Structure 1
Amino acid sequence: MAIKILLIATLAFICLAIEEDSSQFLKEDACMNLLESMIRVEKAKFTEIFNLRPNLRKKELRDKLSENAFNFCTKQITDIEAHEILRAKSSKLPSYFHLLPLNIDSIHFPEDLSPDKAWPSHRRAIKKRLSRMRNNKMKNPRDL
């Protein structure tokens, strides 16, 4: 009897962990999708930011702003918003750009641009997941 209870409790914890991981993946995918869209759509905003810090390299500044905005987004977004973003057409995404603040106030010197060491590989992993998801949608148009 005790073994059955232990087994049920273990399975419950595993299910909760899987659900929490899938929720985090959902949020990360939605925020990355939103970030990619914002980089394409808001070019003028990025140019304005680059002009505020002419002493910093544009690519490094863009990467650091993206990392900070992504981290903010994954903490603020709800599961419902994440689902809506992943299902939305690209023309509807700008209404969610408020989830990605481009905060330049903390970036003044080249030392401020050093990214989190895990960020580049984490970003690649998320982009791979998004690519697989998009490819699966292309193969199964009925799922849209």
Structure 2
Amino acid sequence: MDNINSDVWDLDHDDATTERMILDHTQQKLKREFTNTGYRAGLDASKTTTMQEGFDQGLSYSIPHGQTAGTVLGALVARRTVYRKLNIVCPPQVDALIMRLRALTHTQALDKSVTDSDPTTESFKTLVEEANAVLVSE
């Protein structure tokens, strides 16, 4: 019984070992929890920042495009209304342009893959040019 490790009834030794094991387990568990919490907090903060930056950039591009499309559409609708009030035959391209502008979506006006320059699509530029040409010519 000189060897304390061989004494199965040595409760003090068992308690110390058990306490160390519990402490180690608790420390590992806390470390995992704090790591996971920190990871999630960092991910959330990153998402929020990135999403806000993306929203701000998208908004800065979409407002002028929406204003342009709305202005041209409004002018075409006004032109068509004047033609109708005066019983003048409206050129067919006016109705066609109105339909195309009303069907316009943001993905047709802005190319989301372009990040470092003007994301305006060629189809949007062409549509606005066609509408302006009709408005100027008549």
State if a TM-score over 0.5 links the two structures.
no
Structure with bigger RCO (C-alpha 8 Å, 6+ apart): 1
Q: TM-score, normalised by structure 2?
A: 0.38
Larger Rg: 2
